[in-house]
Amino acid sequence: MSKKISDVTWKQFQKLPLIEKTPYLMQSDGAPYHTLFAQQFGFGLLEQLALLANEIRAIAKTRAGTEFLRAQATHKRAMLYFSQPSSRTFLSFMSACQILGVPTGEVRDTSISSEFKGESREDSVRTFSSYFDLIIMRTPEKGLAEHMAWVLSNSDRPIPIINAGSGQDQHPTQALLDIYTLLRSFEHKGGLRDRTVLFCGDLLRGRTVRSLSYLLTNYPNIKQVFVAPEPLQVGEDVLAVLTAKNVAFERTDDFRAAIPLADAVYMTRIQDEWDTDKGESAKIDTSRFKFGLEELGLLPQRSIIMHPLPRRDEIATDVDSDPRAMYWRQMRNGMWIRTALIAMTFGCEKRIHDYYRQNY
């Protein structure tokens, strides 16, 4: 059931637990309106998104299908507001908009927008809402996308916001593409259930880990193993969610012992852009938390290797040609699942399902 976000003050909304915020972010048919955090996606919605993404990628294989998709949302415009660096998320969202015929605008460098003149983020976002019908935003600040969603929903130009990464906190659409990759990888191997997912690297500051860990709780009997040097181990907030949901988990610093038991190894890079004291990450010994040919030899044949990317040296390039290396396909999956998300946000999914049924 959806609720009107304009019925609550910012302070009331801010104080709600994430799960209680969810009805304020959804449309009456259950599709997302604002996409702000992983907790708003349950099993049913994840299945719907994956199905829609599969149909879109099949339709896009032909010229006629591409033209059909490109006619879906020509009456909508999207703003890509990325005040933090990005390659994949920015480009895949831009491509997703192009697939659906949605023209885009962008601000990637706030030193050449009016923020440089002292304009507040609130005023900037309200300005974008005057010209666009959707804002896709990446920011270094936790909670900013949420606040902007509330601000816009209480303005005379209420338009949806998609969080494309908010500080160290959440990266919900990365988690959607990660789940989509897991679903596709295990589709003909018993599905996404009764699996062990191993997270390795900077688990403390990696927002993709927090979002994916939560989404995995929607699937039965998925054990989560967190492998990191102690200073970078996963936060208590993530573990509290797993405990409350009765999900099995383990923390360890023994990467090699954990690899043979993993169905998916999810590598992450050291997020030293968040260092408070310059160079503190460099003092941590991360040498045992890298995936090379020796680690590949320990990985079962059924298993896959994932990475949200960008990588540095935590996965050796020698591993790239192994069929279990899923990270390049994972990245492309992002374009399709983000297209599905935008299609749902703009209410295009029924037309796409109908076209798919009639033509495939």
Residues annotated as catalytic are 88-89, 117, 138, 171
Q: Which stretch binds ligand CP (CB under 6 A): 1-9, 121-129, 155-163, 306-314?
A: 306-314
Whole-angstrom distance, CA of residue 118 vs CA of residue 129: 19
Q: How far is the CB of 23 from ligand CP (least distance, A)?
A: 28
Does position 328 interact with ligand CP (CB under 6 A)? The reply is no
Number of residues that bind ligand CP (CB under 6 A): 10
End-to-end Cα distance, the chain: 33
Whole-angstrom distance, CA of residue 329 vs CA of residue 188: 17
Whole-angstrom distance, CA of residue 252 vs CA of residue 233: 9
Q: Which of residues 154-173 bind ligand CP (CB under 6 A)?
A: 165
* Residue 212 contacts residue 178 (beta carbons within 8 Å): yes
- Residue closer to ligand CP by CB (options 21, 138) is 138
Does position 309 interact with ligand CP (CB under 6 A)? The reply is yes
DSSP bridge pairs for 81: 107, 137
Query: Binding ligand CP by CB under 6 A: which of 88, 108, 251, 353?
Result: 88
Q: Which of residues 258-297 bind ligand CP (CB under 6 A)?
A: none
Q: Which stretch binds ligand CP (CB under 6 A): 52-60, 80-88, 189-197, 280-288?
A: 80-88
Q: How far is the CB of 87 from ligand CP (least distance, A)?
A: 4
Whole-angstrom distance, CA of residue 132 vs CA of residue 213: 32
- Whole-Å CA distances, 54 to 32, 58, 108, 222: 18, 6, 30, 23
Tell which residue, 134, 33, 126, 127, has the closest CA to residue 77: 134
Does position 252 interact with ligand CP (CB under 6 A)? The reply is no
Q: How far is the CB of 27 from ligand CP (least distance, A)?
A: 26
Interacting residues toward ligand CP by CB under 6 A: 86-90, 165, 174, 308-310
